[in-house]
Structure 1
Amino acid sequence: MLKEKFRNKNIILASGSPRRQHFLRELNVDFEIRLKDIEEIYPDHLKAEEITNYLAELKANAFQDELIDNDVLITSDTVVWLNGKALGKPKDAVDAFNMIKEMSGKTHEVITSVCIKTVNLTTTFFEKTLVAFKELNDSEITYYIDLYKPFDKAGSYGIQEWIGLVAIEKIEGSYTNVVGLPTHRLYDELMKL
């Protein structure tokens, strides 16, 4: 359906994430990947989806002067929200360990914002998913980090990896949102264009 709708459009995914690229391919739409090195810094007063909305729009605005009439740009940002703070991508293994340890035995929110930008329109939306982790011991956390090196993932984990199989007791909301792209919402928003 999307392939037909966007037959005369050029969809651009501004993400190096293999997971986001995979999901967009699975929606059966042709797209190209364009990357820009964006410093992902946001004002301190922003909270939860305000952070991801801001960063998704920041990434989109970096392409502002390059878009032409038939371009449809998609950018995205994901954070883990726990105890009133955002957990982004870890700096190193120690940071990753500390993040997972902090989530152990608790429920956190995964928030992903998506910005769709054309020459004439900018629309931003977000999804939240609740994820409950069981208690993890230190050796389980270390095993996961050593084996999967989750340094490119918000909150230092990928739900589709080993940790998702052994640590996640329950999710409420979109699974694809936790992986990094709420595909059901993206599909709906693209169909509205």
Structure 2
Amino acid sequence: MNRFSSAFIATVLLSAGAAHAQWGRPHEQAQNRQEVRQDKRELRDDRRDVAELEDTLARFDRAWSRQDEREMSMAEAKLRELLRQEFAESRSELRDDKREVRRSSHEERRGGWGRPGMDDRRDRRDDQRDAHVEAATLRTRAAIARELHYVMGSRDHWDLQRQRNLIVQLIQVARDEVRQTKQELREDRREQREDRRDHRRRY
């Protein structure tokens, strides 16, 4: 084999090796950027949900204190609308969390030489926890909605008090979601930093 052929084969092999080493990493970095953007959108939505529920509670209290049937009916209609929106958001976020679990599990399985496997395992555990928390939140909202179904429309004192307590519970669930989304945002930003660090170590 002449020197030209040897040099050509070496160049091809080195190029293929570099491409293999870099394969997947740009995709992971892009995926992490997308997840951070998604977290920020969810955080804005979660904060809006808290504000709207707090406004609905204030409206409920005003209607109850004034015995204003029209205002109370409007407050209950708003509450039903918010519940529908929050169920849709929770289902969407649960799908996203499950997708992240699948992705982080794939990254952990694909780990090899030079990959910080401990980081991948931690990312998978974090994503699994997020999915479990979101599933629990969805179940909690469903339980509250079932109870609200039985007391909405009633003007009995105890039913009104129960409805108010359930609205307060929904506000607490929404505040917990704000905290959870903030934590997810911190975790996804940490994954971004880990990817940049791994990239610098490689190249």
Structure (1 or 2) with the larger CA radius of gyration: 2
**TM-score in terms of structure 1 length:** 0.26
Higher relative contact order (CA 8 A, sep 6+): 2
**TM-score in terms of structure 2 length:** 0.25
